[in-house]
Amino acid sequence: MSEQTQQDENKIIAERRAKLNALREQGNAYPNTFRRDALAADLHKDFDALTKEELAEQAPVRVKVAGRMMMRRIMGKASFATLQDMTGRIQIYVQRDDLPEGFYNQQFKKWDLGDIVGVEGYLFKTNTGELSIHVEKIELITKAIRPLPDKFHGLQDQEVRYRQRYLDLIVNQESRETFILRSKIVQHVREFLIRKGFLEVETPMMQVIPGGASAKPFVTHHNALDMELYLRIAPELYLKRLLVGGFEKVFEINRNFRNEGLSTRHNPEFTMVEFYEAYTDYKTLMDYTEELLKELAELAVGDTKVPYQGQVFDFGKPFDRLTMKESILKYNPEVKPEELETLEAARALADRLGVHWEESYGLGKVMTEIFEETVEERLMDPTFITEYPAEVSPLARRNDENPFVTDRFELFIGGRELANGFSELNDAEDQAERFKAQVAAKDAGDDEAMHYDADYITALEHGMPPAAGEGIGIDRLVMLFTDAPSIRDVLLFPHMRRAD
């Protein structure tokens, strides 16, 4: 701790530090010798149902519990306190005369809220029926020098909740629940894919050529090799190399990094699951996705009606499936199909709808812009949009009947893109052409266009089985199922500006 910080310390911290110094003089101030044998939630699960009398009549249930002291009610020669461990809270009852002479007044009563204590005792129920531990031994395990936020109102300041997430987790139960549910969702996604026979793999986070998506990368430097490396914007091209290598069903759950702005829906690092399966197509993936999301709704909400920020999304019915063109016509009833058939007509339509386009855009890109501006945010219940133009899908397989579009879909819920999948382009020569078009776009000023990845082309030239692949944004998924308005609410440590 710096001198400056010490100077800034207020009286509360100074008092607690004095207590800590007294503890140091008495011996080990930070012992790691207490071993618990019970967790709060397990005790409630096993004993809440018993009456006070039933619990008193049976043989005493002796337990050792550790946790942070969140509340305390001192009533002269006896006290109640509330301990919190990772599973929840349990009340303890401490009597002066159960403890060694002087301990209650000289030690216990001088401890503070926020201190971590270990207790040993037996279970009982209070007159109001609350399961509690009648303490026979109690020890201070860790002294907290700084005070907790308000015991009743919790921590309200959003900035502090994000910057000092540990405080948020200590005092705000909803926050703990959000991150526990996030863990369960990730676990379920993993188990779903393993159940389907997929192999979990890890591919490079640092890449020589950032590929697999259209986004600006973070750049770093490898000293020993004296070369630039990019944090990955997607794992896609590596996972497809594994298809070439004969791993025919693979997935990865990990972070991607995109050097873009922050918003309630964007964090520079975010978590995706990507999975690839050989000898199948995008329609299979849509079926998987629908199956997975229905399971997740059941897991997270326990219902097919998922509430989100005052709206309700229906996961019970079969998910809608519309082509991009169909969706534009559906949500813009005055638009005629012919207006989406030539570049000139589409440009005129975009002008009419107030959608921006540039000279370099082809029909596919203009159409996609119209879709994004007029349809996307209105897709509330889960909806698959298919037939994305090849122009905006440089890694996707062209449709056999209509090469203008690809065998691709995106899933939208609540107006937000949740997933993106397609049958994979495994024609090395077509892929090389598409990369060249991307490079041309990059040269023309599109700094999100892809690089030419010759090593990937070489891999495709060895033969990649026909396959389909998909990415699902885990953070947005968790936002949806935890009713979180901001991506920061589902990231333990969201990116923030420097506080100083």
Of the pair 56, 348, the CB lying nearest RNA is at 56
**Residue 6 binds RNA, judged by CB under 7 A:** no
75 binds RNA (CB under 7 A): yes
Considering the rule CB under 7 A, would residue 158 count as an interface residue with RNA?
Answer: yes
Contact between 112 and RNA (CB under 7 A)? yes
Return the residue of 3, 53, 97, 334 that touches RNA, per CB under 7 A.
Answer: 97
Among 39, 144, 148, 189, contact with RNA (rule: CB under 7 A): 148
Which residue lies nearer to RNA by CB, 259 or 284? 259
Q: Per rule CB under 7 A, is residue 270 in the interface with RNA?
A: no
Cα dist from 345 to 271, 322, 337, 351, 372, whole Å:
39, 22, 10, 10, 18
Binders in 223-262 for RNA, by CB under 7 A: 261
Whether 238 contacts 256, CB under 8 Å: no
Q: How far is the CB of 99 from RNA (least distance, A)?
A: 11
Report the alpha-carbon angle 111-113-114, nearest 5. Answer: 105
| 2 lies in the binding site for RNA (CB under 7 A) | no
Choose, by CB under 7 A, the member of 6, 51, 95, 187 that binds RNA.
Answer: 95
Spell out the long-range contacts of 84-89 with Cβ–Cβ below 8 A and sequence spacing 24 or more. 84/40, 84/170, 85/36, 85/39, 85/40, 86/39, 87/39, 87/40, 87/41, 87/42, 88/39, 88/40, 88/41, 88/44, 89/40
Which residues, other chains included, contact 349 with Cβ-Cβ below 8 Å and sequence gap of 6+? 335, 339, 340, 370
In the complex, the smallest distance separating the C-beta of residue 71 from RNA, rounded to whole angstroms, is 4
- Please report whether residue 126 would count as binding RNA according to CB under 7 A: yes
Q: What is the DSSP annotation of 27-86?
A: S-SS---------HHHHHHHHTTS-HHHHHHSPP-EEEEEEEEEEEEEETTEEEEEEEET
Question: Rounded to an integer, what distance in angstroms lies between the CA atom of residue 226 and that of residue 229?
Answer: 10
Question: According to CB under 7 A, which one of 162, 192, 251, 388 is a site residue for RNA?
Answer: 162
Please report whether residue 72 would count as binding RNA according to CB under 7 A: yes
Binding to RNA by residue 497, rule CB under 7 A? yes
Binding segment (CB under 7 A) for RNA, from list 147-155, 318-326, 433-441, 475-483: 147-155
Nearer to RNA, 130 or 341 (CB): 130
Which is closer to RNA, CB of 199 or CB of 380? 380
Considering only residues 455-494, where is the footprint of RNA by CB under 7 A? 485-486, 488
In this structure, are strands 62-75 and 320-323 parallel, antiparallel, or unpaired? unpaired
Specify whether the CB–CB gap between 255 and 280 falls below 8 A.
no
Residue 477, both tokens: 């998924």
Segment 165 to 224, residues that bind RNA, using CB under 7 A: none
Q: Pick the closer one to RNA by CB: 92 or 292.
A: 92
> For residues 382 and 319, is the Cβ–Cβ distance under 8 A?
yes
Is position 110 an interface residue for RNA (rule: CB under 7 A)?
A: yes
Q: How far is the CB of 309 from RNA (least distance, A)?
A: 9
Q: From the CB of 266, what's the least distance to RNA, in Å? A: 9
Reported in sequence order, the residue ranges of 183-336 that DSSP labels E, i.e. its strands, are 199-200, 206-207, 219-222, 227-231, 249-257, 269-278, 305-308, 311-314, 320-323
Report how far residue 401's alpha carbon sits from residue 148's, in angstroms, rounded to the nearest whole number: 65
Smallest gap from Cβ 374 to RNA, in A, equals 11
Place of tokens 């990094």: 257
Considering the complex, what minimum distance in angstroms separates the CB of residue 17 from RNA?
A: 11
Residues near RNA (CB under 7 A):
10-12, 15, 71-78, 80, 82, 91, 93, 95-97, 110, 112-113, 124, 126-130, 132, 134, 146-160, 162, 261, 263-264, 485-486, 488, 496-499
